[in-house]
Amino acid sequence: MTRKLITRISNELGNQLFMYASTFAIAKKLDRKLLIDNETSFKSKKNISKYGLDNFTISSDIADKNDKFLGIMGYMKRKLLKKLDYFLNNKNFYVEAKDKNKITKYNEDIFHIKLSNKAFFEGYFESEKYFIDIKDQILNEFEFINANQYKKTPYFEKINQNNTVSICLRQNRFIEGKGNNNTQNKEKSNIFRDEQINYINKSINYLKEKIDNPTFYLWSNDLDNIDMSMFNSQIVKIHHNSETILDVDKRSLDLFLISQCSHHIVIPSSFNWWGAWLCKKNNKIICRPAENLFSTFKINNLDFWPNDWIKIS
């Protein structure tokens, strides 16, 4: 009987890439067939995200309907099975461990747990430590299906010049979602925005000392409300016209373009993380923020940042 590992994909595209890459590597090490549950999370009433791994050349198959937990009956079945799992020696579920502060980390124990022949995995697994030893395979899994179409966009040739630098800025971080748009969360979002810009400016100064004539390109979820005078260098905003994104997944297009830059200034964002990680340019420099740089936001995985990325304090 083929032993299966079924990974529950959820949330935004950057999260999905971590979930897939990590469970792809885990399945290989456990000698299991990886299957993707691409529906259970995305068909829940609370979810507003969309499945996005179909933009890549991933080799794993989609799980059968019987191996998903769809609808109210599926929800109840999953809830019951997870409770019963506590009493079993060979577990049907593996849920990423968190401490009391909901902090996770790379966990070697995952490879020593007794699992049933059909094991369901849930979690973010946001660390390259799970898959860095098969990096080339992951890069092959994450080739962009529509790369040729993306190359026709106006920014592609400019971004592929020497010493281009990608920058991402996350705005409105704490007011997103139902019921969150209040005065306190607006203030927290503004503080986080300003601290990101301060970090970005430090990174710009660092890169100007390391490379010749860098050109900076900015991606943001809210391009219209950015005070560009807050940056200490001229920066080009990536703003797609409606025709460019008419027939493409904008998330995948932006991730592709970020990955084409020579160097990267990465904020605490899984999407931004993957744009830099997928970059294949030689001698790339990737700046990332120190752990204590932001007062209102913390990374939830202690092993989120690769060791060779430059820490900016």
Residues 48 and 196 in one domain: no
- Domain limits for position 237: 146-312
Entry pTM: 0.95
Q: Where are the beta strands (DSSP E) in 43-192?
A: 61-62, 91-95, 115-122, 164-169
Q: State which of 133, 160, 183 marks the end of a domain.
A: 133
CATH number of the domain enclosing 291? 3.40.50
| 170 phi/psi in degrees, rounded to 5 | -95, 115
172: left (phi over 0), alpha (psi -120 to 50) or beta: left
Residues 18 and 106 in one domain: yes
What long-range pairs does 47-52 form, CB within 8 A, spacing at least 24?
Answer: 47/10, 49/10, 49/11, 49/12, 51/9, 51/16, 52/13, 52/16, 52/249, 52/251, 52/252
Residues 196 and 49 in one domain: no
Distance CA 104, CA 303 (A): 8
Residues 162 and 226 in one domain: yes
Identify the helix (H) or strand (E) that includes residue 194: helix 183-210
Q: What is the pLDDT of residues 119-166, one digit of tens each?
A: 999 999 999 999 999 999 999 999 999 999 999 999 999 999 899 999
Distance CA 260, CA 106 (A): 28
- Fill in the amino acid letter for 210: K
> What is the number of structural domains in the chain?
2
Q: What is the pLDDT of residues 42-59, one digit of tens each?
A: 987 566 789 999 999 999
Residue 170 pLDDT greater than 80, yes or no:
yes
In a domain, 139, yes or no: no
pLDDT at res. 45: 59
Residues 177 and 109 in one domain: no
* Other Cβ atoms closer than 10 A to 64: 10
User: Average per-residue pLDDT in the chain?
Assistant: 94
pLDDT at res. 296: 87
Q: What is the pLDDT of residues 57-109, one digit of tens each?
A: 999 999 999 999 999 999 999 999 999 999 999 999 999 999 998 999 999 99
